[in-house]
Structure 1
Amino acid sequence: MEDEKKSDVSVTATTTPVAAPTNAENLSSLKHADDARLAELGYRSEFKREFSLIETVAFAFSIMGVVASVSSTLSFGLVSGGHVGWVFGWLIPCLFVIPIAMCLAELTSSMPTSAGLYYFSAKLAPARHAALASWVTGWANITGQVALICSIDFTCAQMIVTAISVNSDGETNLSSAATYGILWAILISHGFVCSAATSVLARLNLAYVVINIGTTVAAIVALLVGAGDSKVSTRDAFTLFENNTGWANNGWAFLLSFTAPMWTLTGYDSAAHISEEVAGAARAAPIAILVGVGGTAALGWLLLIATSFSVTSIPALLESELPLPMGQVFLDVLGKRGMLAIWSFIIVVQYVTGAAQVVDASRTVFAFSRDDALPGSKWWRQINKSTRTPVNAVWLSVILSGIIGLFGFSEAALSSMAGAAVIGLYTSYATPILMRITSGHAVFVPGPFSLGRWATPVGTIAVAWVAFIVVLLMFPTASTVTAEEMNYSVVLIMAVFIFASLSWVLSARRWFKGPVRTVDDSNEK
């Protein structure tokens, strides 16, 4: 009996429930796993992992600023097809961007590091070409990142100029020089905001996404309700085509409307670039990419459909003297007070989008400098001891964007900057995807999110689309152009390409070996 009692006690003791881990303990364990995975990739953890899943999704969504981006780029569809240019000129590219987002989500899930795209290229390219693939991808990505900051903040400046013009009933129309001054003011303010600690940036993004989605929904409802009985018919809203490009071929003219969604749907690789600041990055980052792209594509299409129903005369809208035609749409539908009310929120959304892009670009600059790829890398890879963020990289991104802003004195400023951003970014997207489905197919190790057997067909579609869109965006928006109307995106892209190529041939090929390990292997467990 005594033995049986002892036995009973023993069983009771071993079956006593153990206290479940607290949320803090789970989070700490998750962050430790993230840092361990980062060490496996070759890098020492230097950031605080303050972004949660929801904050990472909010960041990826905010960087595309749907309502502000549509308002900035309405002119592309307006000229290249009118109603059809808006509705189908948005829908068709979005369907092809989704495969690209899926491929980047898979790559980020496998290798969650701020180095992102150029790291993917280095690891998936043939060993003898790894450094070159990394070099090309990194420079293309940084070019696109910086050009995107400038194009976002330039259109934010144009929005402010539009608001001033409407508020003064057209009596005050600021010059290009004044717009450039506003651009610098926005850029400098972004420099201060984006130098903040990661925890601050993460929390701000929750507010950002609420303003972004709320303003988009409000704009859709306002346009449909405000237009009342004056809306065009459903047939006209979806099928009325007007070619105002000067190109004789209507099909080619329609293709030029693709610039708007391609510019809007950029920057979603940001989830990869902040992955060293994300808890559970291998899962959170790919989710953020897919949700951000899908949500932006869907809401943008709905907004453009509402716009198409609201615009009764394409020729009248073309004659508007406002810098951004979307401002005229809101003015016609909502009147002066209504337009200024919703326009003020759109300006806030665009400002927030620019801030998110500065964060994204600075992490790319930091990572590329960490691998000694940029001139002055020792400065740009420094982490501020107080904020634990790459403050120097933030300000470099801001200054370079301000220099690119000189294109703002061209009549084709937006198309030039937008084209440069899209070409740079999508070239950097396509390169590792191409490596993934060719040389890297056998060595790729999937993360929690994987395309499996669909990787090759999806990747093939993605690469083919990028090849097509890069060529398309080098063309001017009109058939006959002057020096001021020229699409200068090719000038910016070629300038960087020539610099990077000469640097590689003359010097970098001898010392740049791709991603550099910053962890001490002897301390790894």
Structure 2
Amino acid sequence: MKKSEDVRVTAALAVDDTASTESRESVTDNARLAQLGYKSEFKREFSMIETVAFSFSIMAVIPGISSALTISLVSGGHVGLVWGWFIPCWFVMCVAACMAELASSMPTSAGLYYFSAKLAPPRYAALASWITGWANITGQVTLVCSIDYTIAEMISTAVSIGTDGSINLGPGPTYGMMLGLLVMHGVVCSAATKVLARLNLFYAFVTFAVTAGAIIALLVCPGENRVSAKDAFTLYENHTGWANEGWAFLLAFTVPMWTFTGYDSAAHISEEVSGAARAAPIAILASVASVGTLGWIMCIAASFAIPSVPDILNSELSLPMGQVYLNMIGKEGALVIWCLTILVQFLCGAAQGVDASRVVFAFARDNALPGSRWWKRINPRTQTPVNAVWLVMFLAGICGLLGFSSTALNSLASASVIGMYTSYATPIFLRITSGRNKLVPGPFTLGKWYLPIGSVAVAWVAFIVVLLCFPTAQIANADTMNYSVVIIMAVFLFASCWWVLSARKWFVGPLPNIDDRSVLESIDDVKL
């Protein structure tokens, strides 16, 4: 190694006094992070494969389809189930590709709101960061709530199946189970990074194995009750109440959109990943592609296993997918698959809890949350943001009170997707407008394709956000109304008022926490 290179590496090591035991790759990661304005506070224990497993686990395929099967069948029957999944996958890949480019260029836990701040015009950088950050936190916390409440509903369905329908748990016991699940997830998410990294390999393996097993069962077990290929792919039924058949089918797009949330997690844990500039974009793209493919195969398998859509929709079970298994393989077999599905959803919630806590930590690190000094603390024992973990669980528990109204809870799920995808689209929009010449490409770049792919991504998000605000029936009442707009607007009004009255005077966007300018200057030339 040349003498000049020795000097550069020594300067990079100064960013973190523990770096002497780290690999050259970790030194480069920490130098890159320092150039973004942050000192390294986590151990880089996630490998590339563990990062992919983390993103894959958050988008748990089988519980995502199982919990939202009703919407797919209502919005087109077999066509809504199969093609309502297939079509959105291609547009989501455009969003993922744009996000992968940004994560490769700026691998920091701040993620999306950091991207927005750096790509926006300087005058509006703080505001863009503020909007993106609050949208992402809204989506992250409500997604944790939606996942854990769904687990509780799945347990209720299992109890109903096991007792032949004699016991049907109401919203009170379901909410109590959700609180218990949040506590369990809080304990898991408070673990050290090394433990979390290894657990996510287990999460991904279980998720894939259970989904593959369910697909095989759905294809093999129906026997003569299996529908024809023509019906499985082309039989259309509109049970939405909307007169326009095309619009009714579009509502089926909400199902994959609920599943395709959380793949930004690879960006949010990038400060815990070795080789983050390469691992994060690969994790985003690989997880979205694999979930899209596996999910479509499962939708096809489920379509073959449903001879009568109205019969499934009229099921008394909390989640009608349980009825599909019950009709197909009987009570014992249905309980086995259903319990495994609950396990996958639980693992999904554990992964999502980690993701949400990293977003809260990063936003608090830039003093953008009430009580930021508490939420940005790193636990000295685990070296993870334990306080942020429990804040997420507490807020998710508050949101879970909406579960006493099934309509409000469904609206919460829509609100989580709107919040997440608004935070996804904002930096992508800035990338194709004011930030065209600002991005310093990382190892993964879209090159000249960033503009058409980014344009498609932004247009898709704009469309899906509008779609998610509509009720499932043309004539809405208190039981069918979609209150997601109310939930989103409540957060928007809070964040807006805080911005106007106070935050605009002191919030400047991402706040560097490296004070030694000589260190920053010395690492500028480190070969990244």
TM-score normalised by length of structure 2: 0.94
Moved more, 411-420 or 454-463: 411-420
Deviations 1:380-438 (A, max 9, x none): 00000000000010011111111111121223245312211110000000000011111
Q: How does 1:129-168 map to 2 (within 5 A)?
A: 129-168=124-163
Q: 1:523 aligns with which of 495, 519, 522?
A: 519
Do the aligned residues in 2 keep the contact of 1:125 with 1:439 (CA within 8 Å)? yes
Q: Matches of residues 56-71 of structure 1 in structure 2 within 5 Å?
A: 56-71=51-66
Structure 1 unaligned segments of length 5 or more: list them.
1-23
Decide which of 157, 164, 167 is 1:169's aligned counterpart: 164
2:512 matches 1:507: no
Equivalent position of 1:456 in the other structure: 451
Counterpart in the other structure of 1:123: 118
Contact 1:56 1:288 in 2 (8 A): yes
Counterpart residue type for residue 371 of structure 1: D
CA offset digits 1:7-59 (Å, max 9, x no partner): xxxxxxxxxxxxxxxxx999611111100100000001100000000100000
Helix, strand or coil: the match of 2:23? Answer: helix
Q: Is the 8 A contact 1:243 1:253 kept in 2?
A: yes
- Partner deviation per Cα, 1:169-204 (whole Å, 9 max, x = no partner): 100100011111111111111011100000000000
Separation of aligned partners in 1, 2:406 and 2:283:
36
Q: 5+ unaligned residues in a row in structure 2: which ranges?
A: 1-18, 523-528
- Mapped to 2, the partners of 1:156 and 1:251 lie a distance apart of 32
Displacement of 1:81 in angstroms is 0.8
Q: Tell me which residue corresponds to 1:350.
A: 345
Paired residue type of 1:523: V
1:15 maps to none
Three-state SS of the structure 2 residue aligned to 1:412 is: helix
Instruction: Check if 1:74 corresponds to 2:69.
Output: yes
- Whether 1:271 and 2:266 are equivalent positions in the alignment is yes
Amino acid at match of 1:385: P
Residue 42 (structure 1) aligns with: 37
Match of 1:376 in 2: 371
Deviation at 1:97, TM superposition (A): 0.3
SS at match of 1:389: coil
Structure 2 counterpart of 1:359: 354
Q: 2:149 corresponds to which letter in structure 1?
A: F
> Residue 16 of structure 2 aligns with which residue?
none
Query: CA–CA distance in 1 between the matches of 2:403 and 2:234?
Result: 34
The counterpart of 1:433, out of the listed 423, 428, 431, is 428
| 1:184 alignment partner AA | L
Matched residues in 1 for 2:42 and 2:210: separation? 32
Q: Is the 8 A contact 1:27 1:279 kept in 2?
A: no
CA distance in 2 between counterparts of 1:415 and 1:257 reads 14
Q: Which residues in structure 2 correspond to 1:360-439 (within 5 Å)?
A: 360-439=355-434
Higher alpha-carbon deviation: 273-282 or 403-412: 403-412
Q: Deviations over 1:295-315 (max 9, x none)?
A: 001000000100000000011
- 1:466-509: per-residue Cα shift (whole Å, max 9, x none)? 00000110111112333243212111100000001111111111
Runs of 4 or more above 4 Å deviation: 24-27
**Deviation of 1:522 (Å):** 2.8
Would you say the 8 A contact 1:81–1:242 is kept in 2?
Answer: yes
Which residue is 1:103 aligned to?
98
Aligned to 1:487: 482
1:94 and 2:89 correspond: yes
Q: Which amino acid aligns with 1:139?
A: W
Equivalent in the alignment of 2:14: none
- Does residue 180 of structure 1 match 2:175? yes
With over 3 angstroms needed to count, the CA separation of the structure-2 counterparts of 1:363 and 1:86, relative to structure 1, is same
Give the corresponding residue for 2:214: 219
Aligned match for 2:250, one of 228, 231, 255 = 255
Aligned partners of 1:410 and 1:485 also within 8 Å: no
Corresponding residue SS for 2:248: helix
SS of equivalent to 1:242: strand
Q: Secondary structure at the match of 2:380?
A: coil
Aligned-pair CA distance for 1:318:
1.0
d(CA) in 2 for partners of 1:488, 1:149 = 18
Alpha-carbon distance in 2 for matches of 1:523, 1:238: 61
Question: 1: distance between equivalents of 2:80 and 2:47?
Answer: 38
Summarize deviations over 1:207-261 as a string: whole Å, max 9, x none: 1111000001000000111011211111110111111111111111111111110
User: Percent identity of the aligned residues?
Assistant: 65
Q: Measure the CA separation in 2 of the matches of 1:385 and 1:481.
A: 52
The offset of 1:443, in angstroms, is 1.3
Q: 2-side partners of 1:272 and 1:438: how far apart?
A: 22
SS at match of 1:165: helix
